Every structure is written in C-alpha cells, then in structure tokens.
Amino acid sequence: MAKNVKKFVNRDFAKTVDLDLLKRLIDPYAATIQLDWNGLPADEKERREAIFEFFRGTDETFPAELLDALHKIMVLSNENGARLLHEQADLAGVAIVPPDEADAKIVTPRHLALRAFLDYRAVFDLTLDKFAFWAVKSPTEFSGAKEGVESRHTDDAAKEAFRAAASGYFAGRYLGKYCDVRWYPEDDEICILVLHGKNAVTANVEENGSERTLTYREIAQDTIRYHSATGRVWISATAAAERKKLAELFAEHMLGDKDFFKGANAEQIYTLAPIQRQGTGFRFNHAWDPDTNAILVKEIQIDEGEHEVEGKVRYSPWAMTVRDSQNAIVRLVELAPDIDFDDLRINYVKLEFRFESGGREHKVIVKVKPPNIASFRNHAFEKQILEHLERNGIRLTRQPVTTAVAAE
C-alpha cells in the first residue's frame, strides 16, 4: 500500500512517543494487531524497544484505519503542525494539552498531534486540511486581469458550480467518482482544498494468509489560494495542465470571468534577469529589514534554454548545477571562467533566507524558477520573502494585465 507503517513508526517515534497516548491510540486494534500491551517489559527503555520491534515486523495486514491515523499524526508532528494546532485550538477555545500535563511532561509536536487526534478530533481534522496549504512545495502563481476582484465563496450556488465543474474535470481525467471541495476564508484570502482520486493502482496483497488483488485510488490534495487585493492566485496540482484548469474553473465560477488568469502577463511573475545582468556582482539588498540576517544564493542551474527548430520546441541537451555554501554564482564562474550569461539561461536558483525571530535564527530555502514558481515550505515568512524578492527585482511588480478576450 502507499502508506507503510514502518515509515511512520521508526526508532525515534518509539523512543519519544508518549506511551500512554500510544496505548490509547492502538487499544481499539489490539486484538487485530496481536499486541499484548500487558506483556511488554516493565522497564521503559526495554518497553520502547519492544514496541519498535513490533511495528518493524508488521506487514500489509496492519489495520488500514490505524495506519491512516499514524500517517495523519506524523503529518502534523513538526514545528509547523504544532503551530497550526495551537492556532486552531485557540480559535476553538480549547487547550489540547492541559496545564498540569504540560508541566509534568515535555510536550513535543508529536505529543501535541497525538493528543489532538485522540481528544480534539475536530480541531485536528481542520488543522490537517489547513496544513495542506503549508505543505505545498511548488505552487504555480498566476496574475489576474485586475486587483480587488472579490471571490464569490460566500455564494452557495457559485461554490456548487465550482465543485461540480472540478468534479467533472477530474472524473474525466482520472475516471474516478470522488471529489470534495473545502473552503477556508482567511483575512483577504480564500483558501480552497480540492480532494479527488488519482489514477487507479492495482497491487497484490496478503489478507488472512492468502493473496488477493487490491485496486485503490490515492487521494490528491490540490490547493487554491486567491488574494483578492492583488488579484493573484497560487495553485498546486500534480500536472501543469491541472493547475491551469483549476485557475480557469476558479476564475469562471468564483470571479465571473473565465479568462481572468489568461492575460499576456498572467504567468510572468518571477525573473532572474538581475542575476543574468550582474553575474558575480549580484547581491541581495536586505538592509531595509532588521529581521533578515542574510540572503544567500546557495544553488544555481544554467542551460541553453528552449529553442524552436522547424516548429518544434527543443530543450537544452545539457544543464549545469552548481552549489556553494555562500555564493553559487561566484563558484559557477570560478568553475567556468569563460561563461557568458548572455548566451545561456539561468533555469533556477535556490536561496537561503536567514530570519531572526523568537530569539533564534530560522533558515528558509526558496527555489525561484521563472516564470511563475517560487517554492518554499515555511510559509510563516512568506510576506517577507515575497517583499525581498520584489525589492531586489526577482519578483516582478504587478503590471496591468490585459485578458485574452480584451486583447482580441
């Protein structure tokens, strides 16, 4: 199956998980998985080792519901997951971990996620949905025809029209029957989670000592974030065609203009032209932001770009990727002193942002790949990152966008 229990229950898990909470989690399945909790060693170190060995020896017969629970808990068992859990718990007016328990134990992100799953499932499930937007690695960004166009996410008819259109599209693409759309308004943004089945997968599995064939569809989590003030949208999906289609469906049903994200400049969001022009002289100016300690170019990739030959697009037959702890541009020129940036394309760069916050330094890796992708996992610093990119000419300031219809 796609989710293997050994991936989620490793030695670190066994050594650090709260055993009382773990017992509560697996008690409903104890008979099925044949784990005799009372028969485990009394010594805590030995008990944890025995639990690790038990999970290490499991196979595909492990209960799917418990495996799914472990997967979801591990998704939120990190710093970002803990922060989001605290935020949602505060909004719900609950304390996931009671003060007396927090005083008696070290509350790790894993402890918090386990406790929320067991005792505050509504908070846990909502956080899991919202985490999908944080987990997006490389969203595609589109710029709309104009700023200030409000989404119709408060209109039930418009929401249903969008859901039906998305469901029809993915049903035709993957031949599945499931599509669920969830809506999360946040300040001046609307965040939309689109859940749908992917291509069917068939596998031979063991069940009760015999072999059987199992066919299943993994659920994709596509995301849409629309910022009405700027008229920009960020979309994640498996394929570029799906991202463009979701942008079109959102524009049609939620903004009332199918061509809202189809203007000539709609996908021209990022450029590496400043690096192309300045070469080794390029440096990020971050003096305006006292919370930024440094912005380093840690990786750069160059190639010959794309060319049209006899009506067909030809891609570069080679690419050169250079990494350096301080300045990959300088390192590239040291390795290839005759390089002429005018004859080549900078395909992407990876930047390391170092932010000072909460008394410690946070490092965030950002990959910028023109024309419309800036990918990073820690969205707590998103506004700062985008402003730095814009002030340094990497993120283009918003230009008037003419829709395809008007251009005609």
Q: How far apart are CA 124 and CA 104, in angstroms?
A: 23
pTM listed for this prediction: 0.73
Please give the sequence-ordered ranges of beta strands (E in DSSP) within 228-325, or none if there are none. Answer: 232-236, 292-303, 306-309, 312-315, 319-323
- CA-to-CA separations, 199 to 174, 243, 371, in angstroms, rounded: 5, 17, 29
Range with the poorest average pLDDT among 71-80, 195-204, 232-241 = 195-204
Q: Are 230 and 147 in contact (CB under 8 A)?
A: yes
pLDDT band for position 5 (cuts 50, 70, 90): low
Residue in the structure block whose two tokens are 């050994």: 6
Q: How confident is the model at residue 214, as a pLDDT?
A: 67
Which tens digit of pLDDT belongs to each residue from 79-105? 888 888 999 999 999 999 888 776 667
Helix-then-strand count for the chain, H and E: 16, 12
pLDDT beyond 70 at 1: no
Per residue in 324-342, pLDDT (tens digit) is 999 999 999 999 999 888 8
Q: Which residue has the higher pLDDT, 209 or 109?
A: 109
pLDDT band at 208 (very low <50, low <70, confident <90, very high): low
